[in-house]
Amino acid sequence: MAQGNKYGMHRVLEPQGVMPQTAVKIDNNMEIYDNEILIDVIALNIDSASFTQIEEASDHDTKRIGEMIQDIVAKSGKMQNPVTGSGGMLIGIVEKIGKDLDIDLKVGDRIATLVSLSLTPLRIDEITHIEPDIDRVMIKGKAILFESGIYAKLPDDLPESLALAALDIAGAPAQTAKLVKPGDSVLVIGAAGKSGLMCCYEAKKRVGPTGRVVGLDYGDAAKARLEEYGFCHEVISADATKPMEVLEKTLAANGGKEFDVSINVVNVQNTEMSSIVPVKDEGIVYFFSMATSFTKAALGAEGIGKDVTMIIGNGYTKGHAEITLEEIRESDTMRKIFEGTYK
């Protein structure tokens, strides 16, 4: 077959002229172009915000969850939740490599794609199992990776399910590593989730002995877990949809001072202001959550006169896979957490 556009534009069906992620429908014919990779898919890790929305819309019925996912893919040619706009990632086995690609892969390699399912041509032949606790859908199917698509070979020294769980949120801890400086005070909202834990761990490592990391999550159970793990200097329980409650509790946990950096990794809506209010002027607010509203964040910061730098969570940054997997390797506690959850 001929060479396609490196960004996958040749796969866009509706509307013409947009990128695959923006498209309503893409071509999921699994005959590959000469610069594409065909993947035999093993599992989908659905984005947390997306899976939560589908699960709630399905009344937590796994059969209905599967039907909704299959319907989305059948209509759009990709796994992009029409409500949240987000996708997820997949793991699979390289089945075929386009002849024009010069890459470090061979047929039979097991890989995790590090680009969103919201732009990945996907065909689901059968859903074999759904694991709601970890947002994972085991399938029989195929997918296409474009020339521009990034991926990671699954490491030999880590279990496949553990590596997948970590790589699924690799952008968050890697961006944390870039944003946080020695001596910073850092607030992590949604700290007890897997991305939150990794952000707390990375932030504590980066702030050093003169910095401070405060982890926020909702409920006594989450608070107790975070305190047990030791990835934060202090842990608080608060409702992230209530910014004044968050402000009061977070400032108290930080000696009355506003934070240099806040990191939002929750999967519920209306937490933008809780991320902005506790941060000092010229501080940084990092939104990794796919439930974030740019409008609410931008207008909210303006409305309270906060001069902060707001960063949209990019799931990719250079070295993100390596940074994230290294956390699993270097922290026995982190590894035990992931092994206990993502078996």
Does 96 share its domain with 200?
Answer: no
Domain end call among 129, 154, 179: 154
Does 20 share its domain with 136?
Answer: yes
User: What is the residue-level pLDDT of the chain in tens, covering all 343 positions?
Assistant: 789 999 999 999 999 999 999 999 999 999 999 999 999 999 999 988 899 999 999 999 999 999 999 999 999 999 999 999 999 999 999 999 999 999 999 999 999 998 999 999 999 999 999 999 889 999 999 999 999 999 989 888 888 888 888 887 888 999 999 999 999 999 999 999 989 999 999 999 999 999 999 999 999 999 999 999 999 999 999 999 999 999 999 999 999 999 999 999 998 899 999 999 999 999 999 999 878 999 999 999 999 999 999 999 877 788 888 888 999 999 999 999 888 877 6
The answer to whether position 4 is within a domain reads: no
By residue count, the chain amounts to 343
Question: Rounded to an integer, what distance in angstroms lies between the CA atom of residue 255 and that of residue 251?
Answer: 6
Question: Rounded to an integer, what distance in angstroms lies between the CA atom of residue 39 and that of residue 73?
Answer: 16
Question: Rounded to an integer, what distance in angstroms lies between the CA atom of residue 43 and that of residue 129?
Answer: 9
- Please give the torsion angle defined by the CA atoms of residues 57, 66, 196 and 340, in that order, rounded to the nearest 10 degrees: 130
153's tokens: 């070979």
119's tokens: 């732009």
End-to-end CA distance of the chain, in Å?
40
Whether 214 and 186 have beta carbons less than 8 Å apart is answered as yes
pLDDT, residue 2, reads 87
3-class secondary structure per residue, the chain: CCCCCCCCHHHEEECCCCCCCCCCEECCCCCCCCCCEEEEEEEEEECHHHHHHHHHHCCCCHHHHHHHHHHHHHHHCCCCCCCCCCCEEEEEEEEEECCCCCCCCCCCCEEEECCCCCCCCEEEEEEEEEEHHHCEEEEEEEEEECCCCCEEECCCCCCHHHHHHHHCCCHHHHHHHHHCCCCCEEEEECCCCHHHHHHHHHHHHHHHHHCEEEEEECCHHHHHHHHHHCCCCEEEECCCCCHHHHHHHHHHHCCCCCEEEEEECCCCCCCHHHHHCCEEEEEEEEECCCCCCHHHHHHHHHHCCCCCEEEECCCCCCCHHHHHHHHHHHCHHHHHHHHHHCC
Does 214 share its domain with 278?
Answer: yes
The answer to whether position 164 is within a domain reads: no
Whether 72 and 44 have beta carbons less than 8 Å apart is answered as no
CATH code, domain with 221: 3.40.50.720
The answer to whether position 83 is within a domain reads: yes
pLDDT, residue 343, reads 62
| Total domains present in the chain | 2
Domain interval for residue 105? 9-154
Question: Rounded to an integer, what distance in angstroms lies between the CA atom of residue 245 and that of residue 110?
Answer: 46
The C-alpha angle with vertex 116 and arms to 76 and 113, in degrees rounded to 5, equals: 115
pTM of the model: 0.79
24's tokens: 């309503």
The answer to whether position 55 is within a domain reads: yes
pLDDT, residue 146, reads 97
Contacts by 58-66, CB closer than 8 A, 24 or more apart? 60/132, 62/130, 62/132, 65/130, 65/132, 66/127, 66/130, 66/137
Q: 74, 72, 41, 26: which is closest to 142 by C-alpha?
A: 41
Does 175 share its domain with 150?
Answer: no
The answer to whether position 165 is within a domain reads: no
The answer to whether position 304 is within a domain reads: yes
